[in-house]
Structure 1
Amino acid sequence: MTITQLQYVLAVAEYKNFTLAAEKSFVTQPTLSMQVQKLEDELDVLIFDRSKKPISITEVGKKIVAQAKNIVAEAERIKDIVDQDKGFIGGDYTIGIIPTVMPTLLPMFLNTFIKKYPKVNLIIKEQPTDTLIRNLLDGHLDAGIAATPLEIEFIKERPLYYEPFVGYVPKNHRLSSKELLTTEDLDVNDILLLQDGHCFRDGVINLCKSPKNQHEEQFKIESGSFETLVSLSDEGMGMTLLPYLNTLELDQKKKSSLRQFKNPSPAREISLIYHKSELKIQITEALKEVISGVVRGAIAFQDVKIISPLGKN
């Protein structure tokens, strides 16, 4: 039994297809199939039922796959221990970033990070929170950047910054004359929202919930981008809420439509999240240091109230 064989078993278990598993493992399909077969012969069991399409995992195979995940993770930890002992910060590091954070945060820290840590091969993927969490659990991501708190047992959360919500209120809107907004001013029925699946959308709806503000389906436009929501607001379709960093690049005309909230301002907590096994923790720490440093100068707000992305305060 070898670590490589266990890695191949995990690939087949994930993709339910030997050809695709071989492609993702960067080996030929005959090589991968032969190694899996050798392991099955050694154990004298069938891990996979090849008679079904897609391939299914046998009952004993499920137990083997679960244990294989632990063994492969511990093998990777050995290399990680050596890297930490040598003070080496390098190698592949895959990070997922939620869509409402990636466009504003990535340009702020990426150039600084790759110059400071040139031996790190940073692989960046834009993923919604649910996918990000699943990939952290499966070992496909080393870390993620997401709105927290998530309160998930196997995940550690390290806050990076607290980003206030800002109202975008066009002319002739009922709130356009107000200099500062309060949460009591908000009516979810006249706020343009991101489409379903974005945690920022859930935070906004949570922020607006009150006995007098029920989400009625009278008129609704949902979009996947803040830019579209701003344009629709300008067309008189309603107001919207933006994360603070998304307001920095607006032109002066559009900035005149921005309205801050009275303190404490509603805000979202953005954190670096990773598996509790803490593999590649030296790279994680380096990433946190760089991001916290560059964002600290961009967000000066201190008095905030965190709005949970889980639909609860």
Structure 2
Amino acid sequence: MTITQLKYVLAVAQFQNFTKAAEKVFVTQPTLSMQIQKLEDELDVQIFDRSKKPIELTETGKKIVTQARNIVNESDRIQDIVDQEKGFIGGEFRLGIIPTVMPTLLPMFLNNFINRYSKVKLRLEELTTENILERLNDGSLDAAIAATPLEDTLIKKKVLYYEPFVIYNPSSGKPSSEKVDVEDIDPDKLLLLEDGHCFKDSVLNLCRNSRDTQEERFSLMSGSFETLIKLADEGLGMTLLPYLNTEELHDRKKANLRYFKEPTPAREVSLIYHRSELKMQIIEALHQIITGVVKGAIAFHNVNIISPVSQK
């Protein structure tokens, strides 16, 4: 049994396809298949049910994959130890970012990071929190940027910043200087992002929303804050925006913003990673760069953190 064979098994388990797995680990499909077959013969078990399309793990295979992931992660730690001792910050680093953070945060730090750490091959993906947690736990992501806190004991976090919720309400008729209580928000007039966005769950948790969807005049499923703003401009309701999304609004639209009274409801945005703490030198570098560039744009402290964990 070799670590290389275990990596091949993990690749097939991830892609459920031998050809795609071979491309992932940069070998030919016959080589990958032969090595996995050799491992199955040595263990005298079947790891994959090849009769299924897509390929599925057998019950024994599922247990083997769990252990294989632990072994591969621990073997990777040896290289991490060597890199840290040498002060080397480089290699491939897979970073997931949730959709409601990526458009505003990524342009703020990416150029700075890649210029300072040119030996890091940053691989970025826009993913939902659910997908991020799955991939952090299966080892196909090294870290992610997401709203926290999260109910996952296997995940650790480094807080990047606190981002207040801001009301966008063109029809409020109130001066923008007037602060708003959370209790003043009418949940039935809120335009929300589609399911799967943790920002939506945070808003629902903030408002303790109990709408009867059968009585709504219309149902909106949008993944875009821009769409919600346009619908609010048409008088169809109001929406809540993350603070950084309001920074690039035109002055005319900024006049429609309303701010909450302190402590301001806010989301906690963090750099999250698996508790196995692989590639910590790159995680520390990312944290330093991001907090350095963000503190000039957002520095709120008297906030009330709203969890993104859905409270159904």
Tell me the TM-score normalized by structure 1.
0.94
- 8 Å contact 2:164–2:303 — kept in the other structure? yes
Query: Within 1, Cα distance between the matches of 2:14 and 2:309?
Result: 28
Residue in 2 that maps onto 1:293:
292
Residue in 1 that maps onto 2:87:
87
Deviation at 1:176, TM superposition (A): 6.3
Residue in 1 that maps onto 2:221:
222
In the alignment, is residue 165 of structure 1 matched against residue 161 of structure 2? no
- Go from structure 1 to structure 2 and tell me whether the alpha carbon gap of 1:31 and 1:278 turns closer, same or farther (over 3 Å shift): same
1:211-250 superposed matches below 5 A: 214-217=210-213, 218-219=216-217, 220-250=219-249
Q: Structure 2: which amino acid aligns with 1:15?
A: F
- Go from structure 1 to structure 2 and tell me whether the alpha carbon gap of 1:63 and 1:187 turns closer, same or farther (over 3 Å shift): same
SS at match of 1:241: strand
Give structure 2 stretches of 5+ with no counterpart.
none
1:118-197 superposed matches below 5 A: 118-170=118-170, 172-173=171-172, 179-197=178-196
In the alignment, is residue 279 of structure 1 matched against residue 283 of structure 2? no
- Go from structure 1 to structure 2 and tell me whether the alpha carbon gap of 1:270 and 1:39 turns closer, same or farther (over 3 Å shift): same
In the alignment, is residue 269 of structure 1 matched against residue 268 of structure 2? yes
Deviation at 1:60, TM superposition (A): 3.1
In the alignment, is residue 16 of structure 1 matched against residue 12 of structure 2? no
Write out the 4+ residue segments of structure 1 that deviate beyond 4 Å after TM superposition: 174-178
SS at match of 1:181: coil
Query: Within 2, Cα distance between the matches of 1:300 and 1:64?
Result: 47
- 8 Å contact 2:176–2:258 — kept in the other structure? no
Query: Within 1, Cα distance between the matches of 2:239 and 2:175?
Result: 12
- Go from structure 1 to structure 2 and tell me whether the alpha carbon gap of 1:144 and 1:138 turns closer, same or farther (over 3 Å shift): same
Deviation at 1:175, TM superposition (A): 5.5
Residue in 2 that maps onto 1:64:
64
Q: Structure 2: which amino acid aligns with 1:248?
A: E
Residue in 2 that maps onto 1:114:
114
Deviation at 1:70, TM superposition (A): 1.4
- Go from structure 1 to structure 2 and tell me whether the alpha carbon gap of 1:178 and 1:289 turns closer, same or farther (over 3 Å shift): closer
Q: Structure 1: which amino acid aligns with 2:269?
A: I
Deviation at 1:47, TM superposition (A): 2.2
In the alignment, is residue 198 of structure 1 matched against residue 208 of structure 2? no
- 8 Å contact 1:48–1:55 — kept in the other structure? yes
Give structure 1 stretches of 5+ with no counterpart.
none
Residue in 2 that maps onto 1:78:
78
- Go from structure 1 to structure 2 and tell me whether the alpha carbon gap of 1:123 and 1:230 turns closer, same or farther (over 3 Å shift): same
Residue in 2 that maps onto 1:309:
308
Query: Within 2, Cα distance between the matches of 1:164 and 1:283?
Result: 28
Deviation at 1:115, TM superposition (A): 1.2
- 8 Å contact 1:173–1:238 — kept in the other structure? no
- 8 Å contact 1:189–1:216 — kept in the other structure? no
In the alignment, is residue 50 of structure 1 matched against residue 50 of structure 2? yes
Query: Within 1, Cα distance between the matches of 2:137 and 2:265?
Result: 30
- 8 Å contact 2:164–2:267 — kept in the other structure? yes
Query: Within 2, Cα distance between the matches of 1:305 and 1:222?
Result: 27
Count of matched residue pairs: 308
- 8 Å contact 1:90–1:117 — kept in the other structure? yes
SS at match of 2:165: strand
Deviation at 1:305, TM superposition (A): 0.6
